[in-house]
Amino acid sequence: MHQDATLDVCGKRTLEYVVECLALFNRGHDEITLRGFAGSIPKAIGTARILQDKFGIDIAESQIESIKVANMDSACLHISLKFRPLSAAGVSFDFPDAFVDYSYYSLLLDWHFSKAKLCKISKKDHSSVKDDRGQSHPSGRRTHLLTVMEKGDDLACIRNDALLDEKDGDPKAFSGLSEALYRSGFMLPSNWRDLIRKLSSYDDIILGIDTNVLYGCTVSEHLLPLLSIAFPKKYFATPNWALLVVPSAVMHEIEEAANIRDERGFLQVEGRYGFRAMQEIIELSQGTDIPGVSLIIVGEANPILDTRVEIQGLREDFCKREDKPFDRRSRRSFKKSTGDMIIRDQYKAFLRCIDFHKGTYFITADKSNAALARTEAVNPIFIRRPDASLSDIREIINPKIETDGTDPIRFIVPLGKLAFEMAVSSGQIIIEIGDKTINLGADAKGERLDLWVNRSLLIDQHSRAQLMQGYAGRIDPRVVAHTMRDLQEEFVGLND
């Protein structure tokens, strides 16, 4: 029997919290407490209902209290859940291909991690070596990226300092690692308090979205969770309605990125980022558990402005981010400003066509684009990413926000979610837990968008056997995967 656990619900996808609750029960906890804050209280209730209706978990009791979060008024709902064994009768579900859904591998990875308390994540080297007969074979080399360990109730990521070594380091791998930590929600924007206060000034808002915001999954992993935890106006959450406006020029940039492949048709890192951005758009536009949020694409494509200069500039941007990940001066290439200008113009044209007199903002992680937007009176919000401030910090602890209670709000990132984002950045990764070595890969060819929506990863038969070897969790992961597929269709949809 394990000590009772607590899971904080803070505005991310409902099904993520369902899997996290099941993972805690799977570790051996008999009772867990869901804490829903402010705007996330309905999400906590929805999570508890799914666990009760679909998995037979008992809801013991609930209570609500008033607290302060980051010196702002909030409400906190406590829901006590008690474990009841899941029946596996009649379940013969298995994955028809080499790709495995998130709920399945996340449960298994979490259970092994709970026993080992530590794991190492490496990037698979795709280089080859020649044998005595001149034939090429995979080198088998790997680059260690990250060590993940539990520290009490927190999760700690220790980055490999050697990646930044001037002689033998791999700055591209370090950049991809930072991107993965940010996309997974393990790092918050450094100006998150200002973001909450500014976006909460109105009950209805319109947000113009820049391309880099979609690449970083800033809306789903940062803005929505942060906006859901406090009541800046004390007794009601604002905003209660948000329209996300994506200019078609942004879609053009994402499309160009998603088409960057090697000569064999495999996605390069830019291509995987493009598909990850499309996944973000689908979840924001089709997700039924994101109340009050709508997404539209505005503006018409102009083929005259689809120039080689823009395409080359986009590729140079990615290269500069990878080569010098913490040099903000190198974040943008010296390319024509056509793309950013069109993005702003399409957003401004949309605003001129509607009669809206509340909060309108243009969100970007590009300082230059934010400055230009200000000169055009577009009211920008600059997302200050934490990469630069954390470049010299070796150990990163999951984000926490202090309350006036005894326990802070913890943004715990499951190992499975971190593994998915690292696979997006690196293509293929290796996770070492105890005596097990697990190979995971992202969709290499980008042929099925449902693989991204499901956060599915390529897992070979040997690695699947490794995951099941010695597994003694309380829950059959096949039962969860079978049920979660139906729920995923209901919440988002799987059609390409």
H helix count then E strand count, the chain: 17, 21
* Confidence category of residue 166, pLDDT binned at 50, 70, 90: low
Segment 35-48 mean pLDDT? 93
Average pLDDT over residues 37-44: 91
Percent helix, strand, coil in the chain, to 5, is: 40, 25, 35
Omega prior to 239 cis, within 30 of 0: yes
Tokens of 215: 């690449």
pLDDT at 90: 57
Q: So what's the pLDDT on residue 336?
A: 46
pLDDT confidence of residue 417: 97
Q: What residues does 143 pair with on adjacent strands?
A: 123
Torsion, Cα of 431, 155, 56, 79 (10° steps): -170
Q: What is the pLDDT of residue 307?
A: 53
Q: Is the pLDDT of residue 380 over 90?
A: yes
**Alpha-carbon gap, residue 284 to 251, rounded angstroms:** 14
Question: Has residue 391 got a pLDDT over 80?
Answer: no
Place of tokens 């390069």: 268
State the pLDDT at residue 291: 82
**Model confidence at 410, in pLDDT bands (50, 70, 90)?**
very high
Residue 324 has pLDDT above 60, yes or no: no
Task: Note whether 194 and 350 are within 8 A (CB).
Answer: no
Strand 5-9 to strand 31-37: parallel, antiparallel, or no bridges (unpaired)?
Answer: parallel
Q: What is the mean pLDDT of residues 233-253?
A: 86
Q: What confidence tens digit (pLDDT) does each residue in 143-157 have?
A: 999 999 998 888 999
**Residue 123 scores a pLDDT above 50:** yes
pLDDT of residue 331: 42
CA distances from 491 to 28, 54, 116, 122, 456 (A): 28, 14, 34, 33, 16
Domains and CATH numbers, the chain: 5-82 (3.30.110.20), 99-187+391-491 (no CATH), 192-382 (3.40.50.1010)
- pLDDT tens-digit map of 343-360: 989 999 998 888 887 889
Kindly tell me if the per-residue pLDDT of 312 is higher than 70.
no
pLDDT band at 333 (very low <50, low <70, confident <90, very high): very low
pLDDT over 80 at 9, yes or no: yes
Query: Of the candidates 378, 364, 373, 252, which has an alpha carbon nearest to the alpha carbon of residue 305?
Result: 252
Q: For position 294, what pLDDT does the model report?
A: 93
φ/ψ (deg, to 5) at 149: -145, 155
For the ranges 6-20, 224-238, 305-319, the maximum mean pLDDT occurs at 6-20
Average pLDDT over residues 232-256: 86
Average pLDDT value over all residues in the chain: 85
Give yes or no for residue 334 having a pLDDT over 70. no
In percent, how much of the chain has pLDDT > 90? 55
Q: Where is average pLDDT lowest: 102-111, 171-180, 478-487?
A: 171-180
Strands 31-37, 72-82: parallel, antiparallel or unpaired by DSSP? antiparallel
Say if pTM beats, i.e. exceeds, 0.75: yes
228 vs 38: CA distance, rounded Å: 6
Lowest mean pLDDT among 229-243, 294-308, 373-387, 480-494: 294-308
Q: Is 41 helix (H, G, I), strand (E, B) or coil?
A: helix
Residues 6+ positions from 34 with CB-CB distance below 8 Å: 7, 9, 17, 21, 44, 47, 48, 77, 78, 79, 81
**pLDDT of 288:** 86
Per the CB < 8 A criterion, the answer to whether 207 and 243 are in contact is yes
Q: For residue 172, what pLDDT is reported?
A: 81
Average pLDDT over residues 204-223: 95
161-175, 248-262, 314-328: least confidently modelled range: 314-328
- pLDDT per residue as tens digits for the range 436-477: 999 999 999 888 888 999 999 999 999 999 999 999 999 999
pLDDT value, residue 71: 82
pLDDT at 135: 57
Q: In the chain, what percentage of residues exceed pLDDT 70? A: 83
Closest by CA to 35, choosing from 2, 4, 72, 57, is: 4
Q: Decide if pLDDT at 272 tops 90.
A: yes
Task: Write down the pLDDT at residue 308.
Answer: 46
Does the pLDDT at position 69 exceed 70? yes
